[in-house]
Structure 1
Amino acid sequence: MNFRRGRQREEPEINFIPLIDLMLVILIFLMATTTYSKFSELKINLPTAAADKQEAKTVEIEVAVSSSGGYAVNGQRINFTDAAALAAELRRVANGQEPVIVVNADSNTSHQSVINVMEAARLAGFGRLTFATQTPQ
């Protein structure tokens, strides 16, 4: 008994479009992740020097700020009137050199006291400023 008299059997076919899409994605991935590098070297002999290396000494000016708003420059207490006066004191202590200003402020010092030191360093023309810290025990 043949119930399918008028119908012909369809042959299964393989659809290549998804396969091509997958291969293109893999190809793009491989091209993007592959590194193409050429190593070019220039072989040279560098000159040598027999002289000792000179250590560069940096001049440090320590500005201490207490919690009550008192200032001390290199251990000498000064009366703070304004940032310009502190800048003049920093210039006097620097003695014409380019120092590193080390701000050593108490943990309870107001922000304005520290900003005053930063402003004085700017007015004095000193661009290198750092803060002293201590490690917790």
Structure 2
Amino acid sequence: MSRQRNRRRPMSEINVVPYIDVMLVLLVIFMVTAPLLTQGVHVELPQADAEPISQEANEPVIISVDRNGDIFIDIGGEQGKPVAPEALKARIRAVLKHKPKTPILVRGDAGVAYGRVVEVMVLAQAGGAPGIGLITEPPEH
């Protein structure tokens, strides 16, 4: 009788094919989610306590968002009337064309949705603003 030799793999060998499949799936998930994490509005935040804007700087352009979400800008002929998004971009573009270092500041009502303020900041960036500041009131003591 001849004995058939049992040809088994030694225990020290590990089948790595399933691990490679898992790694490829994780790589695809990372590649899909990474761009979603970097979207946003670039805002330079101060590293210290807020201080008033120096008088030596150009007069800032102030964009206001009221409680209803309407947008107002303090330049142009109709300062007390709401501004359309395209008109806002055009006005900011015009100001920055003549005075490129003009600060752009956003003042949002405390009751307005945060998303609406972010939309206004995105519009200002689309108008060419390299950085946007937020206006707050000092806390009451």
Q: TM-score, normalised by structure 1?
A: 0.51
Q: Aligned-pair distance for 1:85?
A: 2.9
1:67 and 2:70 aligned: no
* CA shift digits 1:9-31 (9 cap, x unpaired): xxxxxxxxxxxxxxxxxxxxxxx
- CA RMSD of superposed structures (Å): 2.3
Q: Computing the radius of gyration over CA atoms, which structure comes out larger, 1 or 2?
A: 1
Which of 119, 123, 127 is the equivalent residue of 2:126? 123
1:17-56 matches, cutoff 5 A? 56=56
Q: Give the % identical residues.
A: 22
Mapped contact 2:61–2:74 kept (Cα < 8 A)? yes
Mapped contact 1:65–1:104 kept (Cα < 8 A)? yes
Q: Name the CA shift for 1:77/1:105 in 2 (closer, same or farther; >3 Å).
A: same
Aligned to 1:85: 87
Q: Aligned-pair distance for 1:105?
A: 0.8
Aligned to 1:107: 110
- Distance between the aligned counterparts of 2:81 and 2:90, measured in 1? 12
Q: TM-score, normalised by structure 2?
A: 0.49
Mapped contact 2:67–2:110 kept (Cα < 8 A)? yes
Corresponding residue pairs, total: 82
Partner amino acid, structure 2, of 1:91: R
- Distance between the aligned counterparts of 1:78 and 1:89, measured in 2? 14
Q: Aligned-pair distance for 1:58?
A: 2.3
SS at match of 1:136: coil
4+ aligned runs moved over 6 Å, structure 1: none
- Distance between the aligned counterparts of 2:94 and 2:81, measured in 1? 13
- Distance between the aligned counterparts of 1:56 and 1:65, measured in 2? 26
